[in-house]
């Protein structure tokens, strides 16, 4: 088995043919597909109360006719990497809908090759989500970069999972895929997407793609961004209204200070006509690049399937893997780290987690949640779990005086090109790569199970941030909670590198957490308590992917409370 085969192989089996007519493809856009166009009725196979049927109902409920929203409330449009993960699970329910999901997204691709992180639904009111289409102004501000005129999008991107998703969707029903020329139509768009990232976004000159906004990496509020973001002057609070606080507790969302910086970065990028290379924020991230490499492997498989040369793509994936190790691997940490390409002065609040003098955050005005900020010494707030050696709670740093400057031991400047000394789950994601050196893969497995992430020991699922880190919070967005897509990637990575027992345990924990949390957006890594939106599409989709077996494309047996297998 070659490396790209190893990467994209999962025991999935063949889906049953669709019982519905296949609509002809629409140039540049996905075809309208009714919600009922599924390969089979999951309730007749598994029972209406099974995990499989419940996950299927989430995807049916979030389907718009051409794509799937992440959730009906907080995220009412189409998101880029969400759609890739959704298609991976949706292929088990309806290969046709999975194909249309990706076609719709790529129909909004810009002429320069970028795939925007949001494709806006024009029927959704502008005030339902911020930043809205009138903020991004894609058709005008993005005209020089070739933004589409007939659909409104954002101007930034998200992790490139799309070629991997396209290949997996193809394998679920190759006959349907070939009939619709699915891969031949997508291949030029996917190739252009990769060209954009490898050429326009190689801002460090080392071969890796850089992100120019934290939202591009997908882990929006990670502490890994604190130092690079600290150099950004935030937008004035009166210039925008946060719609996300209508759907979630302020203490679980990014602070107003961080959100102001996100807005400033996006507005500056827009005002430069979405030209790359001039941003004050430019970071090489290990997860973003690992997913680019994984998709480059998949693009090589797609090329072979449609009869175009593939050798150069496979070789490029190998070179990118070596560049990833050379530039972002820290052997002392046993982890990949982010590289801050800009560097410069670091404000004190970057390391203390508090605002600028006199500035209030969203949490300042929010009522205290039960169990949050009132934990007894030696316990982590809201988790009931004992603190690990050396671990600090978020409250430990919250009392720092923002006027006092950097906290003890924090740098006052970060030189350009420095690695960011924060342990994030992004540093574990390269485990998904089949060409990773064996010693690096082994070290990542040890780090995943060690005190910083606790996988298989202290935690049910791998947290998004270091359990012992200064900014760890099990409920705040990307600063500690466990996410289903990152753990799904780790499950694949563990399996690809021969850690079958660990992968099986993680798979079981993922399925338990998905069902118990109501397919939550993310969960407390200690307790599995659901956080954020419920009926979240990629949680449901990746649940379906984990449930499916190789025998006939139907779900694997579910487990009862004792752990014994029972019929689904």
Please provide the DSSP assignment of 88-131 as one string: HHHHHH-HHHHHHHHHHHHTT--TTS---SEE--TTS-GGGSSS
Largest Cα–Cα distance in the chain?
67
Report the alpha-carbon distance of residue 548 to residue 566 in Å, rounded: 15
More confident residue, 257 or 322: 322
Question: What pLDDT, on a 0 to 100 scale, did the predictor assign at position 502?
Answer: 96
The b-or-e profile of 320-329 (16+ CB within 10 A means b, else e) is bbebbbebbb
Pick from 557, 284, 482: nearest CA to 490: 482
Torsion from C-alpha of 533, 535, 536, 542, nearest 10 degrees: 140
Alpha carbon distance 136, 240 (integer Å): 13
- Both tokens of residue 46? 């598994």
Phi-psi region of 95 (alpha: psi -120 to 50; beta: other; left: phi over 0): alpha
Write out the catalytic residue numbers: 220, 521
Distance CA 563, CA 558 (A): 9
- Helix H, strand E, coil C: the string for 217-235 is HCCCCCHHHHHHHCCCCCC
Of the given ranges (3-7, 59-63, 316-320, 463-467), which has the lowest mean pLDDT?
3-7
Q: Which residues contact 463 (CB under 8 A, 6 or more apart)?
A: 425, 453, 454, 472, 474, 480, 481, 482, 525
- Provide the whole-model pTM: 0.82
Indicate the pLDDT class of residue 549, thresholds 50, 70 and 90: low
Tell me what the pLDDT averaged over the chain comes to. Answer: 81
Q: Are 134 and 218 in contact (CB under 8 A)?
A: no
Looking up tokens 């719609």, which residue turns up?
Answer: 243
**Is the pLDDT confidence value at 356 over 50?**
no
Structure tokens at 185: 């139509």
Looking at residue 416, its pLDDT comes to: 87
Structural contact between residues 490 and 448, judged by C-beta atoms closer than 8 angstroms: yes
Which of 470, 478, 211, 212 has the alpha carbon at shortest distance from 349?
470
Q: Which of 131-140, 242-251, 259-268, 401-410 has the lowest mean pLDDT?
A: 401-410
Q: Evaluate if residue 478 carries a pLDDT over 90.
A: yes
Closest CA to 459 of 425, 427, 419: 425
d(CA 459, CA 454): 5
* Lowest-pLDDT range of 250-259, 315-324, 450-459: 250-259
Q: Which of 216, 173, 188 is nearest to 87 (CA)?
A: 173
Residues 326, 206 contacting (CB under 8 angstroms) = yes
* Per-residue pLDDT tens over the stretch 207-227: 999 999 999 999 999 999 999
In the predicted structure, residue 395 carries a pLDDT above the cut 60: no
Mean pLDDT of 230-238: 90
Comparing 329 with 405, the larger pLDDT belongs to: 329
Indicate if the pLDDT at residue 557 is higher than 80: no
Integer-rounded Cα Rg, in Å, for the chain is 22
How many other β-carbons are positioned within 10 Å of the β-carbon of residue 425? 31
Chain segment 39-48, per-residue pLDDT in tens: 555 555 556 6
388: pLDDT strictly greater than 60: no
DSSP 385: P
**CA of residue 442 relative to chain centroid, distance:** 24
Whether the per-residue pLDDT at 409 is higher than 80: the answer is: no
Examine residue 131 and say whether the peptide bond preceding it is cis (omega within 30 degrees of 0): yes
Inter-residue contact 381 to 373 (CB < 8 Å): yes
Asked if the model's pLDDT at residue 545 lies above 50, the reply is: yes
Distance CA 2, CA 238 (A): 55
* Torsion, CA 359, CA 217, CA 432, CA 173, rounded to 10: 130
Q: With 0-12 CB in 10 A as exposed, 13-18 as middle and 19+ as buried, what is 249? A: middle
pLDDT of residue 472: 97
Question: 446 or 251, which is more confident?
Answer: 446
End-to-end, the C-alpha distance of the chain in Å comes to: 32
Using 50, 70 and 90 to split pLDDT, how confident is the model at 256? confident
Q: What is the pLDDT of residue 254?
A: 75
- Half-sphere exposure for 224 (CA within 13 Å, toward CB): 34
Q: Which residues contact 17 (CB under 8 A, 6 or more apart)?
A: 39, 173, 175, 176
Q: What is the dihedral of CA 26, 29, 30, 31, to 10 degrees?
A: -30
Dihedral of alpha carbons 166, 167, 170, 172, sign = negative
């Amino acid at each position: 088995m070659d490396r790209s085969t190893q990467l994209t192989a999962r025991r999935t089996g063949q889906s049953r043919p669709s019982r519905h007519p296949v609509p002809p493809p629409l140039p540049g856009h996905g075809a309208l597909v009714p919600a009922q166009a599924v390969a089979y009725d999951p309730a007749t196979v598994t029972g209406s109360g099974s995990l499989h049927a419940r996950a299927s109902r989430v995807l049916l409920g979030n389907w718009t006719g051409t794509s799937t929203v992440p959730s009906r409330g907080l995220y009412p449009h189409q998101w880029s990497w969400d759609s890739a993960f959704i298609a991976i699970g949706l292929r088990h329910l309806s290969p046709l809908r999975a194909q249309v999901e990706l076609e719709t997204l790529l129909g909004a691709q810009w002429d320069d090759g970028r795939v925007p992180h949001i494709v806006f639904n024009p029927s959704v009111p502008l005030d339902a989500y911020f930043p809205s289409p009138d903020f991004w102004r894609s058709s005008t501000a993005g005209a020089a970069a070739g933004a589409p005129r007939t659909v409104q999008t954002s101007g930034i991107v998200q992790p490139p999972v799309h070629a991997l998703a396209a290949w997996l969707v193809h394998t679920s029903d190759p006959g349907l895929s070939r009939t619709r020329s699915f891969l031949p139509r997508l291949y030029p768009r996917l190739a252009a997407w990769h060209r954009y990232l490898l050429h326009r976004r190689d801002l460090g000159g080392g071969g890796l793609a850089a992100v120019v906004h934290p939202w591009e990496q997908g882990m929006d509020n990670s502490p890994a961004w604190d130092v690079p973001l600290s150099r950004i002057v935030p937008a004035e609070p009166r210039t925008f209204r946060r719609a996300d606080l209508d759907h979630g507790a302020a203490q679980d969302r990014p602070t107003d200070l961080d959100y102001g910086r996100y807005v400033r970065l996006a507005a500056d990028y827009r005002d430069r006509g979405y030209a790359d290379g001039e941003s004050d924020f430019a970071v090489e991230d290990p997860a973003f690049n690992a997913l680019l490499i994984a998709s480059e492997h998949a693009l090589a498989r797609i090329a072979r399937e449609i009869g175009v040369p593939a050798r150069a793509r496979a070789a490029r994936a190998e070179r990118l893997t070596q560049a990833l190790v050379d530039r972002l691997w820290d052997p002392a940490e046993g982890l990949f780290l982010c590289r801050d390409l800009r560097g410069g002065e670091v404000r004190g609040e970057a390391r203390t987690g508090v605002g600028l003098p006199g500035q209030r955050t969203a949490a300042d005005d929010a009522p205290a949640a039960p169990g949050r900020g009132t934990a007894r010494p030696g316990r982590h707030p809201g988790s009931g779990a004992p603190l690990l050696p050396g671990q600090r709670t978020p409250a430990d740093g919250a009392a720092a005086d923002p006027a006092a400057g950097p906290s003890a031991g924090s740098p006052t400047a970060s030189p350009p090109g420095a690695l960011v000394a924060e342990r994030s789950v992004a540093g574990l994601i390269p485990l998904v790569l089949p060409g990773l050196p064996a010693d690096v893969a082994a070290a990542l497995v040890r780090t995943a199970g060690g005190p910083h992430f606790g996988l298989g020991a202290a935690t049910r699922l791998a947290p998004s941030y270091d359990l012992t880190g200064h900014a760890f919070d099990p409920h705040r967005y990307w600063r500690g909670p466990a996410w289903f897509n990152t753990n799904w990637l780790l499950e694949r990575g563990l399996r690809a590198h021969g850690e079958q027992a660990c992968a099986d345990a993680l798979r079981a924990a993922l399925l338990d957490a998905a069902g118990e949390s109501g397919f939550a957006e993310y969960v407390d890594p200690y307790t599995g308590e659901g956080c954020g939106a419920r009926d979240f599409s990629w949680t449901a989709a990746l649940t379906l992917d984990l449930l499916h077996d190789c025998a006939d494309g139907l779900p694997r047996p579910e487990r009862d409370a004792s752990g014994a297998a029972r019929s689904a």
